[in-house]
Each structure stands twice: as structure tokens, then as C-alpha cells.
């Protein structure tokens, strides 16, 4: 099984054209690695991976356009190649380090013989495409937000998200079930700003009140923007 075939097997969904979608699909993972660049060596975490490249959380800044090598923390006897070569495409400050998007410069044949191939195979991580969880999937978040009513603006925090709505912790006056409010959050990291017309579907009072908000319409952003949040905060089981 080659590198592409391994990623394809992790999708876990039959009956679709993988070649058509492969550029949009990625595996969410948490893999520790050592990053070698001109300035030396540092630790990093691989956060997600596709057939084209990866997103890394680096402990210090790397330079856009630089060539790097990634070595695994765990050694695999089956691996013939113990370094993965990449080019840094973008860099930005993140929480706890620097986020970097890197593109593979090794061939797919070389990737199939690398330590990363065996790491993915061992972890048995799963591919996360938006179609897999379009209706039911929910992710935990911690995103500052505001809820705007006809009379006030409440400070809030989005504690989880789904394709159809959000659970939001809010301070201030109580909202009523069935009340229509505007939820605003973002931008966060590379994620866009979203403003959505929502209806209060539920209220749970345990300390700060948590409201279940169902999205009715968007005034800024849309479903594709919301999917970016789902992908970003997704944690494999």
C-alpha cells in the first residue's frame, strides 16, 4: 500500500471520487517530530496532513520559503527513509508557538517508504472530510464571541460547534427559548469572521448559562467558513 492509498483507506467512505477530492481532504493527527532547518533543530507537532503537505505547530519561528527536514520521535525498523523533506509555504503566530504550512518535496514513492507513512499506519488516524460529519459532528471550541439581541450585546464564548449550530456560554440577561439573536465570532488564527442569525433552541444553567443556538442564516461568512472551524478544532477519537 502506497502513501496515497494509505490516506485513501483512512477516509473510510466508499462510492466517491477520491482523486477529485484528495486536495481538500486531510488527516487530523498529533504526531511529535524533530524539525531540522538552517538555524538548527527544534521540536514540532504535526497537526494535520494531506497528500500535498502538513500543518505544523513549531516551538520557534521558521522562515517562509525555507527547506526543512522532519524526523520522527519514534523509530520504525520498516521505514527506509527517516527524514521527510518539505518547503515552508506560510508561517503565522499561534497559541503556544508558530503555525507553519509545509509542502512535501519528496515524491509519493519516497513518502511510502518514510517514517511518516509507518507513523500514520500505526496511529490508524482517520481522514476528516466535511461530508463525513456534515449533519451530526460536533467539536469542542473555546472561541470568544458576542450575542446581539434587540436591546443589548452580551459577551459570550462558543464552547462547541456543529454544522447546524453552536453551544454558547454567555453572561448577562437571560435569553428566552425561541428568541432570535445574532451570534458573532472570529476571526481566530486563520479562521474567518462569522455572523449568523440564530434561534435559541435550549438553555442549560450550571454556573454560567449555556445556550444551544440553531443557525438560521448568515450575514457574514457561511457554511464553508463554519467548516473551517470544524476542521481546525477536530480532535480524532
Cell digits for 85? 523533506
pLDDT of residue 51: 82
Can you spell out the DSSP letters for 179-235?
A: -EEEEEE--BTTBPPEEEEEEEEEEEEESEEEEEEEEEEEEES-HHHHHHHHHHH--
pLDDT of residue 114: 93
Cell digits for 119? 507513523
pLDDT of residue 28: 75
DSSP state of 78: T
Are the C-beta atoms of 87 and 65 separated by less than 8 Å?
yes
**Alpha-carbon span 197 to 165, nearest angstrom:** 10
Numbered ranges of CATH 2.40.10.220 in the chain? 3-128, 133-233
pLDDT of residue 13: 42
pLDDT of residue 38: 85
Domain 3-128: which topology? Thrombin, subunit H (2.40.10)
**Alpha-carbon span 172 to 208, nearest angstrom:** 9
CATH class of the domain at 133-233: mainly beta
Tens of pLDDT, residue by residue, the chain (237 residues): 677 677 666 654 443 344 434 455 677 778 889 999 988 888 899 988 888 899 999 988 899 999 999 998 888 888 999 999 999 999 998 877 899 999 999 998 899 999 999 888 876 544 333 334 434 467 889 899 999 999 899 999 999 998 889 999 987 768 998 999 999 999 998 899 999 999 998 887 666 688 999 999 999 999 889 988 988 887 654
pLDDT of residue 149: 94
pLDDT of residue 48: 86
pLDDT of residue 32: 87
pTM of this structure: 0.49
Amino acid at each position: 500500500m502506497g502513501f496515497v492509498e494509505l490516506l485513501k483507506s483512512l477516509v473510510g467512505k466508499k462510492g466517491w471520487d477520491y482523486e477529485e477530492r484528495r486536495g481538500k481532504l486531510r488527516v487530523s493527527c498529533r504526531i511529535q517530530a524533530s524539525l531540522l532547518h538552517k538555524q538548527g533543530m527544534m521540536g514540532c507537532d504535526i497537526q494535520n496532513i494531506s497528500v500535498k503537505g502538513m500543518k505544523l505547530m513549531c516551538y520557534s519561528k521558521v522562515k517562509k520559503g525555507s527547506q526543512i527536514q522532519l524526523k520522527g520521535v519514534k523509530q520504525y525498523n520498516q521505514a527506509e527513509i527517516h527524514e521527510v523533506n518539505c518547503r515552508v509555504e506560510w508561517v503565522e503566530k499561534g497559541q503556544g508557538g508558530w503555525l507553519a504550512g509545509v509542502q512535501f518535496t519528496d515524491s509519493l514513492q519516497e513518502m511510502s517508504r518514510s517514517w511518516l507513512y509507518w507513523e500514520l499506519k500505526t496511529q490508524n488516524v482517520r481522514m476528516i472530510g466535511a461530508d463525513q460529519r456534515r449533519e451530526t459532528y460536533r467539536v469542542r471550541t473555546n472561541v470568544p464571541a458576542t450575542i446581539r439581541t434587540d436591546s443589548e450585546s452580551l459577551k459570550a464564548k462558543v464552547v462547541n460547534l456543529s454544522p447546524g449550530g453552536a453551544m454558547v456560554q454567555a453572561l448577562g440577561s437571560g435569553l428566552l427559548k425561541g428568541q432570535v439573536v445574532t451570534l458573532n465570532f472570529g476571526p481566530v488564527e486563520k479562521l474567518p469572521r462569522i455572523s449568523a442569525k440564530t434561534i435559541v433552541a435550549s438553555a442549560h444553567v450550571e454556573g454560567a448559562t449555556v445556550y444551544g443556538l440553531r443557525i438560521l442564516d448568515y450575514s457574514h461568512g457561511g457554511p464553508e467558513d463554519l467548516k473551517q472551524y470544524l476542521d481546525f478544532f477536530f480532535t480524532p477519537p
